Amino acid sequence: MTLRKIAVLLGGRSSEREISLVSGHGCAKALRDEGFETIEIDPSESDLAAQLNAAKPDAVFNALHGRWGEDGCVQGLLELLRMPYTHSGVLASALAMHKQRAKDVFAAAGLPLVKSIVVDRREAAARHLMEPPYVVKPVNEGSSVGVFIIRQGDNRPPEALGSDTWNLSNEMMVEEFVPGRELTVAVMGLKEGPRALAVTEITTTLAFYDYEAKYAAGGSTHTLPAKVPPFVAEQAMRLAERAHATLGCRGVSRIDFRYDDTEGKHRLVVLEANTQPGMTPTSLVPEQAAHTGMSYGALCRWIVEDASCDR
């Protein structure tokens, strides 16, 4: 089928709405520059099924982030409408969005992980459930929303977790903190199998790589390729491909790692998989694509030409 008209989903109702708008506008412009007719649809504004049925697109480019956009909900609707769409399908999206479910799958595949438990947020606020340092984060949010690092010497966990104004998940993951460096690898799901693009190291002058560090101007620095030993880069790329395949991801994904090189160690652990990674022109995935010689427009074209149902 020749694709001519593309509906780009952007915005939405999650805590990541603003960055989704930036991703979506960027992808829509790139697709127009590549010769596609594009229509931008924000699911927060009215009935999404009605908007899509009225638009009658040949395919849907999903640029939504966070809950309702990358957790299988929109993917299920698109399957019901039988509209070809980009990125991962219902099951892979739901698994990747729930950090503990994803870790269960990774563990079964033998991928290196950190120890963790899932508890109610009020329990995590009441006392240390793990020897500091450790990390507390919602099991089903992205972009480091609602993440806390509890360091050695902290007397209590964050009081915000027990607040009546808390508006994120009640289920929290308490996870071992791994010292060292933040690495990430983009993966393209090609017909011959997943292919890792490169390894980027992410550094920040803020407390850690949180939402502000990811999206505020100057919040983080991307070193591409990461200055790590060649065998570590190779290991990260192969693990990223395995994580992508193990979850059943499609299209583009991004796999995040911690690399502990303190005291002569070379410990590499998988943190999580992102099935709807940021797609602004300067986001990590387009940066890695450009590093391999693929332009932003060509990347967006490849993603939309990969669209299908039954993903």
- Tens of pLDDT, residue by residue over 142-174, are 646 778 899 887 877 777 888 888 878 889 999
Query: Is 16 considered catalytic here?
Result: yes
Q: Is the distance from CB of 72 to CB of 101 less than 8 angstroms?
A: no
List 278, 301, 306, 311, catalytic entry = 278
Predicted local distance difference test score (pLDDT) of residue 206: 60
Query: Is 261 considered catalytic here?
Result: no
Q: What is the pLDDT of residues 180-230, one digit of tens each?
A: 999 999 999 998 999 999 999 999 766 544 444 444 455 689 999 999 999
**263: domain CATH number?**
3.30.470.20
Beta partners for residue 189, in sequence order: 194
**Rounded distance, CA 174 to CA 310, Å?**
34
- 133 and 245 co-located in one domain: no
- 34 and 53 co-located in one domain: yes
- 108 and 247 co-located in one domain: yes
List 16, 182, 210, 306, catalytic entry = 16
- 250 and 104 co-located in one domain: yes
Predicted local distance difference test score (pLDDT) of residue 219: 62
- 170 and 184 co-located in one domain: no
pTM for the full model? 0.89
The domain of 222 spans 96-112+179-275
List 274, 283, 296, 297, catalytic entry = 274
Tokens of 296: 């932003």
Domain assignment present for 168: yes
Of the candidates 49, 37, 54, the residue with the CA atom closest to the CA atom of residue 79: 49
Beta partners for residue 173, in sequence order: 118, 137
Cα–Cα separations (whole angstroms), residue 125 to 26, 148, 166:
39, 11, 12
Does 30 have pLDDT greater than 50?
Answer: yes
- 141 and 270 co-located in one domain: no
**Rounded distance, CA 169 to CA 70, Å?**
16
Number of domains in the chain: 3
Q: Give the distance, in angstroms, between the CA of residue 38 and the centroid of all CA atoms in the same chain.
A: 24
List 175, 182, 256, 306, catalytic entry = 256
Omega within 30 of 0 (cis) for the link into 225: yes
- 137 and 227 co-located in one domain: no
Query: Is 297 considered catalytic here?
Result: no
